Amino acid sequence: MTNNGEKRKARLYSGKAPGKADFDRFVAFLHHKYGEDTELEWVEDQTLKNGFRLEVGAHVYDWSEMGLFAQFDAYLNRLKKAEAEDRSVIPLIADALREWTPAALAEETGEVLSVADGIAMVSGLENAAYGEILLFDSGIRGMVQELDRSRVGCILFGDGDLVVQGSTVRRTGKTAGMPVGDKYIGRVIDALGSPIDGRGRIPHTEYRPIEAPAPSIIDRQSVNEPLETGILTIDSMFPIGKGQRELIIGDRQTGKTAIAVDAILNQKGKNVICIYVAIGQKVSSVSQLVDDLTERGAMEYTIVVNSGASDPASLQYIAPYAGCTLGEYFMNKGRDVLIIYDDLSKHAVAYRTLSLLLERSPGREAYPGDVFYLHSRLLERAAHLSEKRGGGSMTALPIVETQAGDVSAYIPTNIISITDGQIFLENGLFFSGQRPAVNIGLSVSRVGSAAQTKALKSAVGTLRLDLSQYREMEVFTQFSNDLDESTQKKLTYGKGLMYLLRQQRYQPLSQFEQTVLLTAALGRVLTDIPVDKIDAFKKGFLAYIEERSPELHYLVKNDTALTAELKNKIIALAQSFKESSELR
């Protein structure tokens, strides 16, 4: 019986009517499979000259020529995967023909009720699961995102115009996945893993689901290895460790992407795979970024996943998960990965669009589809794996755009609560020329000095405290003309530190360079240098060390704190350079 008490109907389609014996065998099969109350009706279909098709509700047994060929093709593909790659195809087909026996496989099908804006509503798929991939007659794939009593809501991964009302939909029983492999390094791909850089197909090693559980606590180890960004402000005061999730947050056009790109450039020669996920951006912007990375040799270890502003919301929605899947492939092989999501504000907008088109709430009421869960299940996959799991890591730098610096808005607070710290970029600092425009007071790294080298940690000293005091004093004294000498010295010292932290794009600094610059600055060497000459001091002093004291590279070791003697030597070299270079 069906749910409403009626008898279950089954239809047998074939070119000619079956004999009584054959008909009775069909009835016996249906009674055994679906119950004694199932009724069978024969329908003539002249397109089925050979074979038949049996339909029982949403289940279809297709023993037509095309149906049997599809079964054989699937069987042959399974054999290919099981056999060694060097085996000839012709013997493989011969073996398959000898051993293959058609099976009575029920294929669950449904019908498209409506399709619009990249969303298809489908009836008949009673057993479809959330996140399952559906296959439409046109070859377009879709993913189940809404389950209702009478229908299923599906987002489409392709041209929605190819899906029409009344067409057939088939379950695949598989969740969304994508191909992964080492050959993806250096390529630009879309959210489905297909190349979009015009350089041909990409050989893949395996398929991985784009949704995967985050590593458990047992499978992780503490974040204690630095991932150097090359940006003095960040590496000195807000260090990022391998496996950490550090949010980059700020208004539009304040240098968020610039920080991420500089972090990618600084990984050159450090055996780190970088993945840049562009969500909802202009094609021209992503193209320029790829050109910049290529020009500086960074595409040799970088993968760019692009789902542009012109792509459907469904592709923008899965893009960060696709990038994360690639990252997990390398992490599970013991590699270190840096992944950047640029940006999750647009990702949330894409998800909201899908939710509204699916006629459901886009907010927290729609669990497990609420926005917090959307981003937490993505960012929790970043980890530093235990040595037993290979010791690989994936460090995530999500980017979020604020409106008028409002970090208390819904999406920013969500992601702040998920991540291990945030780098807040301030409008006022950016337009005053302080770049990167990092707000010292609102930025934080919850991993802290655990992910910092001992040498840099000892060089940083009271830097953050000195800068905080300077910012406070600057506010209180901006309207005062009569300042005592002590206050004036503190302001001059603080201003010198702020100018020291200014850094041009594409000019990352090594840990050694950061260490010696901070040691000199905190040794009060910059106090009598005009602020407009501090940049010249930085470049000149580093060149001076290379010329006069190259042995410092060996003395300043990352795993050893600076001794008082070594600090004094660096300060003396800085004083000597200052006096000889006429910078005062």
Distance separating the N- and C-terminal Cα atoms of the chain? 94
Q: Chain centroid to CA 251: how far? A: 21
In a 3-state reduction of DSSP, which class is residue 216?
A: coil
Beta bridge partners of 584: none
- Judge whether 415 and 358 are in contact, CB under 8 Å: no
- Judge whether 175 and 291 are in contact, CB under 8 Å: no
For residue 399, give the amino acid letter: I
Helices (H), 432-484: 454-460, 463-477
Of all helices (H) and strands (E), which one includes residue 548?
helix 534-548
Q: Measure Cα distances from 174 to 142, 170, 265, 361 in Å.
A: 11, 11, 38, 26
The active-site residue out of 141, 352, 360, 446 is: 446
Written as six digits, the tokens of 451 are 């992910």
Q: What is the DSSP letter of 321?
A: H
Which of 471, 514, 475 has the alpha carbon at shortest distance from 494? 471
Written as six digits, the tokens of 569 are 């030597």
Catalytic residue flag (residue 584): no
HEC assignment per residue over 324-389: HHHHHHHHCCCCEEEEEEECHHHHHHHHHHHHHHCCCCCCHHHCCCCHHHHHHHHHCCCCEECHHH
Cα dihedral across residues 494, 496, 497, 498: positive or negative: positive
- Judge whether 470 and 494 are in contact, CB under 8 Å: yes
Which of 553, 549, 543, 540 has the alpha carbon at shortest distance from 584? 540
Q: What is the DSSP letter of 299?
A: G
d(CA 296, CA 312): 32
In a 3-state reduction of DSSP, which class is residue 410?
A: helix
Which residue is listed with tokens 């050989």?
A: 203
Parallel, antiparallel, or unpaired: how do β-strands 168-175 and 302-307 relate?
Answer: unpaired
Beta bridge partners of 175: 132
- Judge whether 447 and 238 are in contact, CB under 8 Å: no
Which of 106, 116, 159 has the alpha carbon at shortest distance from 136? 159
Maximum pairwise Cα distance, the chain:
111
Residue numbers annotated as active site:
446
